[in-house]
Amino acid sequence: MSDDEIERTNAERPDAERTEAARPDIERRPPQRTHRPRGLSKATALMGARVAAGVIGLGVAAAAIAGGALLPLPSIEGEAPSVTVKPVATAQELVCAGGILRLGDESGQNVANATSIGRPLVASGSTGNAVDSGALDVAGTTKDAAPTTISAPPDGPEVPLVAASQAEVAASPDFRGLATASCSPESSEAWLVGGATTVGRMTLLSLANPGGVAATVDLRIWGEGGAVEAAGLTDITVQPRSQRVVPLSGLAPDLESPVVRVSSEGGRVVATLQQSIVRGIEPGGVEIIGSAEGAARRHVIPGVVVRNGEEVEHSIGIPGFADLGTVIRVLVSGTEERDVTVTVRPEDGSTGGESLSFAVDGGVVTELPIEELPDGGYAVEVSADVPLVAAVRFATTVTKPGSDGFRANDFAWATAAPALPAEALFVAPEAPTPELHVSNPSDAAITATLEAQGSAPATLAVPAGASITVPLAASTVYSLSGASGLHAAVTSVGDGLVSAFPVHAPAAASSPLRVYAQ
């Protein structure tokens, strides 16, 4: 860079002064003297100009800073380009629990393995293409008793609804009764409310993994004494496309009222409980319990059926028969005592029903008995101001004529049913007198349409806060439209046979996701 000077940068500075300024001895002189001889008026003018410039400068600076800080200046804020990705629809896949299992084979040997005692009748249907079905790999089980997978491939962008249910009537020395269950989609978290591991009560936890990735399952079990600490609750591996059966008694023995939370990583599983009761040598029923609604502040449990109530009440007094009674099993989150409100409504279209409040300890499973209900269907509503899970166990008993007072007992678990979307599909099981129980907990009447495939649609008018019962034809696919906000369950009740399952909402397709590719 050359050393040359800045030229005439200062317009106001006269040339004479510039030359003066170049001299090193400038500092000895007062600046005004450089403007002589007629510099006085010029200097005054210059001073005036400088003062003016300074004042203007101050003003501009103040204005600029105030403007920058106080003016509501508009911002130019673009929007990042993004793509809302609607995930490609996958085939809806449901897993049915499979046949009723016993530990060990028929000879009572090999108790580590579960084997099936029969095979369930599976009925399925979809709103779209034909339904594909398959079976999972299960050691020791015949293929047709293994858990069945039901899927309906997507029809273009439309995802068809698919539903299936299974039913099995057991009549062996150890197992007797009706077990129905709806087939459900895999999930990474499930709440199972039901079962018992006291004497004569066997509960098997079935983990079915229909996916292609091994699932690592962690269990948490609560009982009447609180959370259960035990080895083997975590890191239970379920291989792809297989079922694993875990006896609950091995993890939590002698538990009257377990609640199990199943969470899986990697692959996802369908978890079910199979509970059977043997009182002495008398089989007391069998039930397959599907996953209940997850923890929420309010649950609606339709489809609690009291049949032969008097006889049940009568039998409860007999030792070992206490669990014939209707109870609500509740687990409230947290560790503090909470008030849980229970409303039991008859399913006759009326809005009546009684509300009771119970104080329930958090973190401890509590069973709230419901006594002296007349025969009929009921919807139970359980609510608290903290999340809870709940289910209702009910039973029936019948003394068979000419059988020496031999009673045929069976029990069922009505689990919390989800609020249905506008369109739902379900299949009535191949079981005696199936019925649909519909509950409307909302403040407005809902009119839905029930249509059996191949029949004329029927209108279901459910008043606000009321529940109704509709008879169904066995092994038939039903679609329920306009059902938004309703909760529903399907029960099957025969002589000494009872079973129930809720109507599931279809598994939500993956929601669209906004993606910014950068």
Residues 75-114 that bind other proteins (CB under 8 A): 75-91
Phi and psi of 35, rounded to 5°?
-95, 0
Q: Output 307 or 504, the one with its CB closest to other proteins.
A: 504
Stretch that binds other proteins, among 4-12, 112-120, 122-130, 141-149 (CB under 8 A): 4-12
SS (H, E, C) 286-354: EEEECCECCCEEEEEEEEEEECCHHHHHHHHCCCCCHHHCCEEEEEECCCCEEEEEEEEEECCCCCCCE
Residue 424 CB, nearest approach to other proteins (Å):
20
**Cis geometry, peptide bond prior to residue 37 (ω within 30 degrees of 0):** yes
Residue 159 CB, nearest approach to other proteins (Å):
10
Complete edge-to-edge strand list for the sheet that includes strand 270-279: 242-247, 201-209, 270-279, 282-289
Residues 470, 468: Cα–Cα separation, whole Å: 7
**Interface of this chain with other proteins, residues 260 to 319, rule: CB under 8 A:** 265-268
Q: Does 258 bind other proteins (CB under 8 A)?
A: no
* Contact criterion met (CB below 8 Å) for 463 and 349: yes
Q: Does 64 bind other proteins (CB under 8 A)?
A: yes
Q: Output 24 or 108, the one with its CB closest to other proteins.
A: 24
Q: Output 35 or 393, the one with its CB closest to other proteins.
A: 35
Residue 210 CB, nearest approach to other proteins (Å):
11
* Contact criterion met (CB below 8 Å) for 207 and 262: yes
Q: Output 3 or 229, the one with its CB closest to other proteins.
A: 3
Q: Does 9 bind other proteins (CB under 8 A)?
A: yes
Q: Does 515 bind other proteins (CB under 8 A)?
A: yes
DSSP-assigned letter for residue 137: B
Query: What number of other Cβ atoms are within 10 A of residue 317's Cβ?
Result: 9
Residues 86, 370: Cα–Cα separation, whole Å: 47
Residue 233 CB, nearest approach to other proteins (Å):
20
Q: Output 88 or 456, the one with its CB closest to other proteins.
A: 88
Q: Does 171 bind other proteins (CB under 8 A)?
A: no
Q: Does 213 bind other proteins (CB under 8 A)?
A: yes
Residues 21, 6: Cα–Cα separation, whole Å: 13
- Binding residue for other proteins, selected from 6, 281, 359, 456, defined by CB under 8 A: 6
Residue 509 CB, nearest approach to other proteins (Å):
8
Question: What sign has the CA pseudo-torsion 504, 505, 509, 511?
Answer: negative
Instruction: Write out the two tokens for 45.
Output: 């003018």
Query: What number of other Cβ atoms are within 10 A of residue 216's Cβ?
Result: 16
**Interface of this chain with other proteins, residues 237 to 256, rule: CB under 8 A:** 240
> Going residue by residue from 137 to 156, which x/- string records binding to other proteins, judged by CB under 8 A?
-----------------x--
* Contact criterion met (CB below 8 Å) for 131 and 172: no
Stretch that binds other proteins, among 24-32, 331-339, 436-444, 485-493 (CB under 8 A): 24-32
> Going residue by residue from 456 to 495, which x/- string records binding to other proteins, judged by CB under 8 A?
----------------------------------------
Q: Output 81 or 401, the one with its CB closest to other proteins.
A: 81
* Contact criterion met (CB below 8 Å) for 467 and 214: no
Q: Output 5 or 354, the one with its CB closest to other proteins.
A: 5
